[in-house]
Amino acid sequence: MRNVSRSVLPMLLVVLAMTSPVAADATVYFVGYAVEVPAPLLLLVFGLALLGVGTLVRKWRSWKTTPGRASESS
């Protein structure tokens, strides 16, 4: 995990700091209100969401392969 954070975090910061390639804003509709959200913020939010989903999948897979759990499920 430490190696991943050392390599991914600086790249993420560089990408989020570069606003020139990202020229579009996204419109998010929340409870009937339209809000303009910059693309780097969307990338950050969706990236964190993907990390969370990956963590949950990893925990789920480790729970499924834990010895002794197979006899409980059948």
Quote the pLDDT of residue 29: 83
Q: How many CB atoms lie within 10 A of CB 25?
A: 13
What's residue 38's pLDDT? 82
Alpha-carbon separation of residue 50 from 35, 37, 45 (angstroms): 23, 19, 9
Residue ranges of the chain whose pLDDT lies below 50? 74
